[in-house]
Chains A and B, each alone.
Chain A
Amino acid sequence: MKNKKLKISDFSKKSEQLAHVDLQDLTPLPPPYDKIEDEPVWGKIKPEFRETHECTLDDTVAVGIPKPKTPEEEKELVDKFVSGLQKLFEKENNWPFLQQLMLTLEHCAKCQTCVDACPIYEASGKNEIYRPTYRSEIWRRIVKKYVQKKPFASFTDGDIDLNWTTVSRLLELSYRCTICRRCAQTCPVGVDNALITHELRKVFSQEMGIAAKEIHEKGSMLQLKVGSSTGMNSEVVKDNIDFIDEDMTDLTGIEVKSRWDVQGADVMLLHNAGEIIAWPENPGAFAIILEAAGINWTLSSETVAYDGINYGLWYDDTQLAKVAIKHAQAAQKLGVKKIVVGECGHAHKALTVIADRVLTGDLNIPRESAMTLLEDIVFSGKIKFDPSRNDFPVTLHDPCNMVRLMGIVEPQRRILRYLCPQFREMTPHGVHNYCCGGGSGFAIMSAHNFTNWRVSVSGRKKFKQILDAYSDCPGPETKKYLCAPCSNCKGQIRDIFQYYNAKEKSNLIYGGLVELIVNAMVDVKPGFISWEDAF
């Protein structure tokens, strides 16, 4: 189907595939990434999978649920979907977002002011199905016609057919938005179309038990069962941290020993456990800095509490609450003064902001960002720095959850301005940044050919921004560093760089903020950040 002729009503009509992503339509990248023929060819969804699973939205699949076998089964699922939508408007079921949702349902002026703010819509060459209002328009029409049963809804709000095709495509479409909320930021009325993505995912998860496998089954469920979505139990995580400490000691020449379960510590540090597996230098660098600054800190080995992730933030309020409470309970048990969230954007938002209205009484333990603690340490004079060790071009990626959605903008910048002589900003940056393209769980989702989509479409705008920040030194002769103080963003950026071979073509590597801090520490052996060892 020609995307440009797409109508709202097409969404409910059965077809093999509703929309197509044509690589020719994607917004161009700067040289040497500007040749469409050099774009990696997208993998195809296997015909046998297509035969048995729902993948009729576009060229990729994020959830891919099995096709219902009978019309009765289809009807049952559609009815469940409607029942879930009804629950979204009941205070017993959706007090956490009822007010936000009612206002967003009722006050969109359909002015399309928000659409150009969406990096996915723009990068796709304005493919209609990725327009932030396309998804929300369908949702509004369904709610008004089938849930509220509003008289003349088809006339006042527009018509839509509700059938299994509509529901199964909405499921997939709810995983084509990173919930970065850039669209909401531009809405003059204050309507939030990204919230609709969030609430749709909730209906599928909380009512129908359907969610992307990586964020539910292998994500929050695994975390609640074993302790971490990485699969590490507390013994394994302790062993891994021991290995990291040894490696860091060798690398830096400073004795590194992470602390576990220190009763009454000032700080309980909460890492995204993905760091321990994928970027061990990050928890290692944290340990070096906190020790050097003389902070009384600890990690918790309590189940769930050694992994700061909380994927419920993206799709399920009940999962969010379960994990947040475990984190707070662990801190309560240790009697720490505060929880400090490491370099993980969604963990920041989930535990500090969202869970603020879940954690009551004794569980409301003070929580803050590592950015502010790090800023305090860096400017305290407790550690000596040599900024010339970081004398290479550095730019900063602003994780949406930490910046646009929490307002933590300057502490990390003050550190970078001080420690990185060639620090430069992206355009736009701060609260107007672009999402890395891996938000809302995408960074950990890679089944079938989803990586193709999330890198070349949802991550495209960010990659262009990164390259533009180095437009004065694009070639491989200049070493360049992208600072991304967020695990999920790093996962996405890793995949973007690998996909486009950015290390070889641009000598571009990425990492966190603490790595730059340690790299500039006078007491540390030079070369903590290494272009040779980075992939």
Chain B
Amino acid sequence: MVELPNGFRGGDGMSWKKALIPLAVLPLIGLLAYGFTTDPRAIPSPLVRKQAPPFTLQVYDGKPLSLEDLRGKVVVLNFWASWCYPACYEEAPVLQRMWQQYRDKGVVVVGVDIQDTEAAGRQFIDRFKLTFANGPDPGGKIAIDYGVYGVPETFVIDRQGTIAYKHVGAFTDRNVAEQVAPLLAP
């Protein structure tokens, strides 16, 4: 049988202070709920506002491309993989559009295919008819130098060779407008 607690009758059953004990749990729950709003994977890059690490990319069907060759242009360096679904698949058309729209304005789009096989990478490029430079990263050296944690990640490098912005996740048209376009001002 269940008893009714004294406190409900207004007697001297429960002291106020004791009633606070269960409620002390709530701030902890609040803290954990705060955790829903954060993304533990969104790690800020220490490379922002620093010189972009140099690299040489063995472009598929092309000459090797190094970062020094591109000094003076705005470089959008995109790390992707053929198995990175759906984000890389969403951003590929965005990147291709950006390349076609801005190549005459001094923007170079470079894609680095990491942890992938050549066949799968080429298939990806053909599928989205990408015409900007893409190449593999055997040994993962370029990815390591840029502190790439996952795919896709995109680094926007300004004309002076400084990393202006790092984007984790699919690159969108809005990112193009907000992060790339402003750098084009001479």
| A associates with B | no
**Interface, chain B (partner A; CB < 8 A):** none
**Interface, chain A (partner B; CB < 8 A):** none
